[in-house]
Chain A
Amino acid sequence: MKKTTRKQKRPLLAILILAVILIVLSVISIGIGALYISPDAVVTNLLGLDHSFEFIIQQYRLPRIILAILAGAGLAAAGAILQGVIRNPLASPDVVGISKGSGLAAMAVILIFPESPVYVLPFSAFAGAAIIAVLLLMIARKKSIQPSSLALSGIALGAVCHAGMQYMMVKFPGDVNAALIWLTGSLWGRNWEEVKLLAPWLLILFPIVCILIPKLDLMSLGDELAQGLGENANRLRFILIFTAVALAGSCVAVVGSIGFIGLLAPHIARRLTGEKAKYLLPASALIGAIILLIADTLGRGIMPPVEIPAGILTAVIGAPYFLYLLKFEARKQ
């Protein structure tokens, strides 16, 4: 810890640079897809001076980019909160079972009720995440529970959900392909309707996260210190986990259970800004948005007209980088 402060990180500058990168990437991303649109054409189309690509930009690319930014930021922020609360660097929406819960619910809809209307899927996915969250919080409410056992409970709940998914795939072999694509996470076919579905949630949740930021720093000091400073540690943990679950659940409901972002983004952010939550959280959110935006843009652009689901690319980019991070951390110690 001392080492990092001595290195004189400049967290505000880092956040600013990340924001600029995100904006530049968004403009580039508008141009990439089955039809290439040059950056100057993108700008003239956005300004309304040119209408040649208006339909594609307005109908397909813009909503996807906005959704990638929102969902990436939401998942990353959820990961950063969970890592702070559980005090475990491996905590993330995937690890504590939230993604698995929504995956199980989504799979049930896709495989058992394939005729159900379109809007059922996101709501049931969110419900799945919520059920897991409630179970997790029931365990967390018990006094004096250790954060590590919270992580283990999450892993156990996730394993049960995973078993359920495997069972369904064998028992209802209908459209396993669609179910798998959902599980991987993809922004294909998403448009303004999904943006409208997700944006209100995040508009409520992000301000709540901002209010909670100072508390998150307290939690990372440990229960006893937090209590000594006048906080009810259990209640605080309850609120923070609830917020993280709501964030992750709403994002997963719309884009599917995209992995690695919630785990990876906070780790990268920590290297840039240090541990302080007021810098760490916004930086994580920006990095999460950047990762998902890159993944979705690459998925569109690598082998058109075939799309590669964004979730596959986050895993392909994420897994090796995470291994590198682990090695780096080990060396530091």
Chain B
Amino acid sequence: MHGTPLAIALLVAVLAPLAGAIVSGLFLRNAPKKAVSLVSVSAVFVSFVAAAIAYVGLDEGSLRFEGYRWFTIPLGGGQGVPIEFALSMDALSGMMAVMVAGIATLIHLFSVGYMAEEESYARYFAYLNLFTFAMQLLVLAANLPLLFVGWEGVGLCSYLLIGFWHQNLAYEAAARKAFIVNRVGDVAVLVGMFLVASLTGTLDFEALSQRAGVFDVPAFGVLGMTAATAVSLLFFWGATAKSAQIPLYVWLPDAMAGPTPVSALIHAATMVTSGVYLSARMSPIFVKSSAALTVILLVGAATALLAGLVALTQDRMKKVLAFSTVSQLGFMFAAVGVGAFSAAMFHVFTHAFFKALLFLGAGSVMHAVHAHGDAELDRLGGLRKALPVTSLTFLVGALSLAGVPLLAGFFSKEQILHALFGAAGNAQLAAGGVAVSIPSWAATTAIVFLALAALSTAFYSLKLYLRTFTGEPRHDAEPHEGGLEMKLPLVLLAVGAVLAGYLWLPAEGLERFAESLRAVVRDALPVEAHGGALPMIVGLGALAIGAGLAVALYKGKAEDPLPAKLGAFYRAAYQNFGVDALYDRLFVRPVAAISRFVRSFDFETIDGLFVGIPSGLATVGSKAVRQLQGSTVHSHALGMVVGLVLVFGYFGYPRLEVTIRHEGARTVLEVPPSFGYSYRVDFGGDGTYETGDFRADLTALAVPPSAAKKDRVVLLVHREPLDSEPVEVWLDEHPRELGERELGADFIPPGARGALPIMAWIEDGAVKLRTNLPGDEPEERELRPGQSHRIGAARLVATGVAFARVEVKNAFGHVTVQELEFPFRGRARTAVRGGSRRIP
């Protein structure tokens, strides 16, 4: 690990929240709430301070912390894409890191008051800290895989926190929805990453922006797109999930099931903007694809308008804010779509302040009136007196969101509109020497959409304020402000919501902020200067109309007149234009049906076939076997007796063990004497018993010459040493090879393993040998009984064969017979050929 002390600050900024999460999640589960608050808030604050120090100390370039080589993606040909645990900070990620940590600190602080009554306090703060860690990792990662780790990490924490009150099944379902929809986007990010890795051989952002030229490939394999279009669209696809754009925005409104500070931090200020951050990070690639930018522009603008319209009709504070967030994210992507990445990031920055402020204000209201889950506008009203701080700060946030001049939202929204007008007026944009052409009809459409979205923004912002804080109270609670820990974040965020915009003013001392950002992202700027007053007129006009309508409609009214006025349109918009129902029909139900089928296939077909049949066989078989084992004493006794009878039956027959012994030239047949046994022997198999009738005194018998069998001869092979036991080779008329087994391994010359070229067979009562040894002439030889022949170290002797039929009878009169053949002459040998059978 190396790096300047400032680079170490990056590591601290990332790891401090992780440490906080581990400590409060694992060790402080049963600790006092104060300890948990202290640990987790200070962990995030340390991260903020570290990020701020690093950002302030940032020079023109970037700061990099080199960790260690994580792994290498092999590419073939010995090459690989090294993936390092490396953090980097430049103007873009520095701004994000400071903003994330700053807002996270305020929201942690707010949560201390908001969640004071919560039982799983430590779990909540552990999740929140873990989220901050993942978000900082996402922002400060120096390469795509590490960014993806953070990307998945924030997704996980989002899931955990949406479902924080997991006892409520609807909340749990919302958490699952968020998780699953995000997975749809993550696939695209992964594929995009693979594509980038295979095209450029690197995933490091710094190296990537240098090698962006690779993406100039005009035609790429898939659908005739350029490589830049494919990569840009894949990353944008991922961004539509994370940043809630059409078509994957449906999870964000449901995500309001989580605690309100979570909505403020994750689902308004930080995580949902990571799609915009990714786009800005990838801007060197994005600007190379006009087609992808056009898609992004239209999707962003359409999302802004659609969500803005839905937000008009929502009747709960958090739902309005949620759709408002989707709408504002649409603004940001519209800016991305015309290559105005710095404008998009600017809006990310300002939006984080006023949207976090609005959410925290909503949280404060809910805290005050003890509304759990969400606050219905119909049951609020007149809270201005009871909640002065909340009321005032909320008004600031609402006005900032609406785009009232001199507040933060005004500046960023104007920048976006400026960029759009620039794109609409000039077909030609240029980004670092690359020509970008957005169709002017697309830009014009986007302008119309965004103007209408801005109008509805102004309308619902003021509606929210008016229906919450003014008029007659429509609730029966006794509202009261939260403690200092809740008021302080509201005030600080309100200050941010006012002042954040001024950082972009081209004023002395402030210029560096925007300029350094523009140095990192690759903005596409109009070739000719363009703009004039038109964007501002459109923006202010939308604000005036929207605000005017809101004030006219809601000033002093207890009922919401909108449903009556808009009729069917209201109902459609209230239902999110049926998108949720459509997705349910298009995706959820088919997948559920497939799952049910697969489940039933597994449970019925697979289990039936591969579990049911064997178990059925086992059942049937065991039913049969069970009859055998009755487990009564009688059945056991019976088994014993039957076994006993069988053993008796076996021993009821005499056993015959014949031994043949050679004593010099004499061959002796021996049988063991036993009680009640008597023997008789027939030599030569001629039917006459040489011993006469059965004799009990028979133990040994010399084999007479008449035992010899004509035409039977056996080959005895004597091997070194010659006085050892010879090997008997029983031959027949079919020639066979003599090999290692018969002649011995040491006989075999090297290189001639296995069979040797020695063939042997029986012909006319003699052994025939045919040798074809290497180095010798082929030779054929006949061995009559008694004759021998020497081959190498082995002596081959032809020997006559004797035949004997031995019968033994026991006291019961049972007879066992054995017929055997054995070499007639030779040395001590106990060879027996033949089997015995029993004759009762």
Do the two shown chains form a genuine complex with each other? no
Taking Cβ atoms with an 8 Å cutoff, the residues of B that contact A are none
Taking Cβ atoms with an 8 Å cutoff, the residues of A that contact B are none
